[in-house]
Amino acid sequence: MNDVIVLGIVVALITAILGPWIIEYYKWRNEPKRRILHEGEVRYFGMLKNASGFFDPSDPNKLEEFYEHYRTAWLYVPDQVIKSINEFYETYIGIQEKDEKKEAMSKMIWEMRRAFYGNTDLKPADFLFIIVKR
């Protein structure tokens, strides 16, 4: 046999033996990051789904759900998102004007989007508030 065939067989054997180990190593290495991203996504979804409770007090369970996701978000989301949520809380509690509350919530949601997707062309003002009353 010539050297090219032998080298091909050796490379194929090494790849067949080491390939699964390398794949498992990368899975093991990236799993914590993937889990943190997934948990952050769950928190964002929960907060966004229940954020309307701040403007529509007919369902107090929405606020409780929002706060629950906020408390657990501390483990999974970036600092800037936590700061924007805190700013929203402070604005919501301290200011009675609806426009400033909406502006603070828009910034909070924009920070969530930016943390999740990276850079975005959208601005906080692009978020529309749609509340369906039954």
Mean pLDDT of 17-30: 85
d(CA 26, CA 34): 12
Please indicate, yes or no, if residue 54 is contained in any of the structural domains: yes
- What confidence score (pLDDT) does residue 133 get? 65
User: 18-22, 57-61, 84-88: which has the minimum mean pLDDT?
Assistant: 57-61
In this predicted structure, the answer to whether residue 55 has a pLDDT above a threshold of 80 is no
- What confidence score (pLDDT) does residue 131 get? 67
Please indicate, yes or no, if residue 11 is contained in any of the structural domains: no
Of 82, 84, 81, 44, the closest CA to residue 66 belongs to: 44
Q: How would DSSP label each residue in 6-73?
A: HHHHHHHHHHHHHHHHHHHHHHHHHHHHHHHHHHHHHHHHHHHHHGGGGT-TT-HHHHHHHHHHHHHH
Report pLDDT digits (tens) over 79-126: 888 998 888 888 888 777 778 888 888 888 888 888 878 888 888 888
Would the pTM count as exceeding 0.85? no
What's the mean per-residue pLDDT of the chain?
84
As for how many domains the chain has, the answer is 1
Mean pLDDT of 27-37: 84
Please indicate, yes or no, if residue 75 is contained in any of the structural domains: yes
Domain that holds residue 114: 33-126
d(CA 12, CA 5): 11
Please indicate, yes or no, if residue 40 is contained in any of the structural domains: yes
Q: Which helix (H) or strand (E) holds 66?
A: helix 60-73
Of 107, 111, 101, the closest CA to residue 79 belongs to: 111
Mean pLDDT of 56-61: 80
